[in-house]
Amino acid sequence: MGIELKSARPMNVTSIDLLPEPLKKVRVQATKLLASMLANMFDSADDALFELADKAINNADQTMYFDSMREVRIKREVMESLFARFLQDHFKIFQRNATVKLSEQDSTALDDNALTLIQDDELEESVAIRGMISKVNNLFGESLQQLTQRMEFLANQITIDEENNPIGPAKLSESFQLACQELSLNIRAKLVVFKLFEKYVLGELGELYSCSNKLLIGAGVLPQMSSAPATRTKVRPQEQAERSDSSQSEGGNVNASVSAEATADQNEVFSLLRNLLANKAAQPQTGPSYLPVADSGPVLSQAELVDMLSTVQQQNDVIRDDFQPASLNVRQALHSIVDGRGGAIPQAVGRVDDDSINLVSMLFEYILDDHSLPVQMKALLGRLQIPMLKVALLDKSFFSRGAHPARKLLNELASAALRWNEPADVSRDALFNKINDIVTNVLNEFESDVEIFKPLLEDFSQFVDKEKRRSDLIEQRTRDAEEGLGKTQRARADVGHLINDKAAGKALPTAVVALLREGWSNYLFLLYVKQGTEDQAWHAAVQVVDDLIWSVDQDASFGHRSDLLKKIPSLLQCLRKGLNAISFSKNRMRELFSELEGVHMACLKGPESEAESVDEVEAKEHSAGDALQENEAIEAEQGAPVILETPELESLDENVCGEADDEYVAMVDSMAVGAWVEFLDDKGEKSRCKLAAIIRASGKYIFVNRVGIKVAEHTRSSLIEEAQAGVISMLDNALLFDRALESVIGHLREMKD
């Protein structure tokens, strides 16, 4: 759950307050409570930063923390005001006609070096924010879900979730992060401030959510929902009969913390899914090969159903030789087992359990259809359908709790699988074998104890972390090398364009061309790389180019020759100093200076001696062998001589889209560092890689594979062309289960509408 960095100033939105009255009260209450929490945070900031300064191991750190303490104190009032304003703006989501979007930071504001320390700092901020949000969801997830559903009930067909809830941890963290843009702090100090916000604001949100839920319940908004984990949900009369009929399926002593009926009562997300499923246009398949869904009479108990699914699980412990994902019809598999056992067990499935089967089947249909996963990995993950169905039957929080170990394991496996490219020998691939081992372990060991997923998740996380540390190191080296190369290419290109532009339309003698090409261009390049183009030494070196070209202009007046006589000594001195700085060959320098002297003498004597001076120069060139041919080539190009060949570099800001459709331009421009893409080569083979860097100096997009090795580089225009040709596509690296659940909910809502 990332927080997108945006402008630190709120936008003006409609001034008409269209909030429902209960939400106005929630907003007023939240504003007061959050202002108090934020004040406590700032009150504690002085002590925290002073303590860090006191414990600093060097003067630099101590000064940094003292300066940070002063900066936070000075900017406190502005930040409190901004945070309050952002909070008000976030409530405008309930006003359908209000446009509440904070403008994104202009990416062109960065300097030519796209891989700056600022980007690393933003990455650290993003990681810290995601961690804060995750902790709040774990601490207060249930009360936040209840509050979100009550807000959505009042939202007049606007979807409200934990991401856009105005007082959810995501929006509050975003508001604080934006307010922190007012601070000029070292990243270490800023992370301390974030930690204080987590402790004094996010860590106290339980009180805010509890008060808000009570306020909405008092206003009659979904009072049947539980306001605390221990309180049992009140059931509407029309639901009571259905739950009474399905209660028979909740028997049995499987190793679950609560029965499916209690879980369904306490878990509103599962209830929401069931309500949506009840409106599903397509009814469950029926027929002689399917178990019926019972509204009354004997049904399979949860223990019997889990036991039968364990049998299916063992039967499904195979993978096709071609690694193609295979769908599984759970009802047909259950029917086969019931038939095999005769009349010893009930012949029908309860309504609640059937809904779980439906939901998990729909989730895995999405997973097996997902373009973002390689087909071989889909085949592996598809084998987890039965284990995940058993988890859903045993624990309905599986659908709502992002930190559920089984759900988290599925997400982690999918995230790693997304980055995988099929090797020549799959059986020797470490990642494939690790995921296969995890899946096999689940299929062999999982009966009914959902705790089995925790050690498997920990084991896989350690494996991924180890691989990631290695790949991050290689990737950083790749970025550093490409950054240096990009800066070098940009310097060469800019120096070449500068010299060629100044020489355009001039008939320059060979000695001048050689001095610029062999020596002075390298000196300019050295200054560009080391000191930049704003330094005084750079401007002085550029002036030498102008002076050198001016000094050989034989068409100038006698006044020019008088000035030239005065200028030559200082010009030669500057040339000699610059060439010595790059260790230019002494012999070559003497040779070129001697030729330049002849040219200058011709200029000083005037036009009448031009023919003679040219003859002398050509004689020297003839004696030097192929130098004469070079001179003739240059003379043939008079009017637009190209002294230096320059690399063709594309600016990221240039309009080089041609006739490309806007959707492809938008697709490429939306690519962020860290995005995963899939390329299709001429042979139809697919490869997956990550955008590791966008080098502004060279206009290059650098892509690396899973282990951090560079596999491709592109320009913006080439990416747009490939997107339009269909050979590149974006991969969705959001959490797989969450994407699947979103898709299922969206699909069911469409059917309902």
pLDDT reading at 29 higher than 70: yes
Query: Is residue 261 left, alpha or beta, with left meaning phi > 0 and alpha meaning psi from -120 to 50?
Result: alpha
In eight-state DSSP terms, residue 14 is: -
**Cβ–Cβ under 8 Å, residues 589 and 576:** yes
Note the pLDDT of residue 235.
36
The mean of the pLDDT values for the chain is: 77
Q: What is the mean pLDDT of residues 427-439?
A: 90
The listed range with the strongest mean pLDDT (1-15, 265-279, 341-355, 439-453) is 439-453
* 61-87 per-position pLDDT tens digit: 888 888 899 899 889 989 999 999 999
Task: Please tell me the distance from the alpha carbon of residue 748 to that of residue 753, in angstroms, as a whole number.
Answer: 9
Average pLDDT over residues 490-515: 87
Tally Cβ neighbours within 10 Å of residue 190.
20
CA angle 194, 199, 203 (to 5 degrees): 120
Would the pLDDT of 17 be above 90?
no
Where is 271: in which H helix or E strand? Answer: helix 268-278
Of 147 and 616, the structure prediction assigns the larger pLDDT to: 147
Q: What is the pLDDT of residue 343?
A: 60
Burial per residue of 116-142, b for 16 or more beta-carbon CB atoms within 10 angstroms, e otherwise: eeeeebeeebbebbeebbeebbeebbb
pLDDT at 627: 44
At residue 551, the pLDDT reads 85
Residue 428 corresponds to which tokens in the numbers above?
């020797």
Q: Which of 104, 90, 55, 96 shows the shortest CA–CA distance to 169? A: 90
Predicted confidence (pLDDT) at residue 34 exceeds the cutoff of 60:
yes
The average pLDDT across 124-135 equals 83
Please give the pLDDT value at position 553.
75
pLDDT of residue 22: 87
pLDDT, one tens digit per residue, over 647-685 is 777 666 555 555 556 788 888 888 888 889 999 888 878
pLDDT given at position 642: 65
Give the max Cα distance, the chain.
122
Residue that the structure tokens 């703006």 belong to: 89
Q: For 225-234, 374-383, 452-461, which range has the lowest pLDDT when averaged over its residues?
A: 225-234
Helix (H, G, I), strand (E, B) or coil at 712: strand
Angle between helices 205-218 and 117-153 (to 10 degrees): 20
Does 3.40.50.720 match the CATH number of domain 649-739? no
Lowest mean pLDDT among 108-122, 675-689, 720-734: 108-122
The pLDDT, as a whole number, for residue 333 is 78
Average pLDDT estimate for 310-316: 78
The average pLDDT across 154-168 equals 83
Give residue 178's identity as a one-letter amino acid code: L
Q: Which letter does DSSP use for residue 738 in this model? A: H
Q: What is the pLDDT of residue 254?
A: 33
Q: What is residue 723's three-state secondary structure?
A: helix
The pTM for the full model equals 0.54
The predicted model gives 148-175 an average pLDDT of 86
Give backbone dihedrals phi and psi of 435, rounded to 5 degrees, phi first: -65, -40
Residues 514-528: what's their mean pLDDT? 90
> What six digits make up the tokens of 110?
């960065």
Render pLDDT for 293-302 as a digit per residue (tens, 0 to 9): 776 667 888 8
Contact of 650 with 699, CB cutoff 8 Å: yes
Residue type, 37: M
Neighbours of 423 (CB within 10 A): 12
The predicted pLDDT at position 350 comes to 82
Residue 635: pLDDT over 50: no
Least confident of 10-14, 173-177, 432-436, 509-513: 10-14
Domain range list for the chain = 21-218, 505-636, 649-739
Q: Are 3 and 171 in contact (CB under 8 A)?
A: no
The pair of three-digit structure tokens given for residue 421, joined into one six-digit string: 């490219």
For residue 715, what are the β-bridge partners?
A: 700
Report the pLDDT averaged over residues 557-568: 72
Tell me the average pLDDT across 12-39. Answer: 80
Residue 463 has a pLDDT of 92
User: Environment class of residue 315 by beta-carbon count within 10 Å: exposed (0-12), middle (13-18) or buried (19+)?
Assistant: middle
Is residue 550 within 8 A of residue 506, CB to CB? The reply is: no
| Three-state DSSP string of 595-632 | HHHHHHHHHHHCHHHHHHHHHHHHHHHHHCCCHHHHHH
Cβ atoms of residues 119 and 66 within 8 Å: no
Residue 166 has pLDDT above 50, yes or no: yes
Label residue 10 by pLDDT band (50, 70, 90). very low
Would you say residue 227 has pLDDT above 60? no
Calpha distance 582→525 (Å, rounded): 10
Mean pLDDT of 641-646: 70
**Average pLDDT for 422-441:** 88
Between 603 and 374, name the one with better pLDDT.
374
- What average pLDDT score do residues 514-541 get? 89
Whether the pLDDT of residue 193 is over 80: the answer is: yes
Residue 5 identity: L
The model's confidence at residue 106, banded by pLDDT at 50, 70 and 90, is very low
Read off the pLDDT band of 35 (50, 70, 90). Answer: very high
pLDDT, residue 280, reads 58
Whose CA is closest to 388, among 309, 317, 457?
A: 309
Residue 462 has pLDDT above 80, yes or no: yes
Strands laid side by side in the 686-695 sheet:
710-715, 700-704, 686-695, 676-680, 728-731
Weakest mean pLDDT among 257-271, 371-385, 654-668: 257-271
Local confidence band at 180 (pLDDT 50, 70, 90 cut-offs)? very high
Rounded to whole angstroms, the Cα distance separating 374 from 422 reads 8
Model confidence at 725, pLDDT cuts 50, 70, 90, reads confident
Query: Is it the case that residue 637 has pLDDT exceeding 50?
Result: no
451 pLDDT more than 60: yes
Q: What is the pLDDT of residue 508?
A: 86
The residue among 188 and 326 whose pLDDT is bigger is: 188
Q: Is the pLDDT of residue 411 over 80?
A: yes
What DSSP string runs through 157-186? T----TTT-TTSHHHHHHHHHHHGGG----
Strand 676-680 with 728-731, pairing: antiparallel
Residue 438 confidence (pLDDT): 93
Query: How much of the chain exceeds pLDDT 90, in percent?
Result: 17
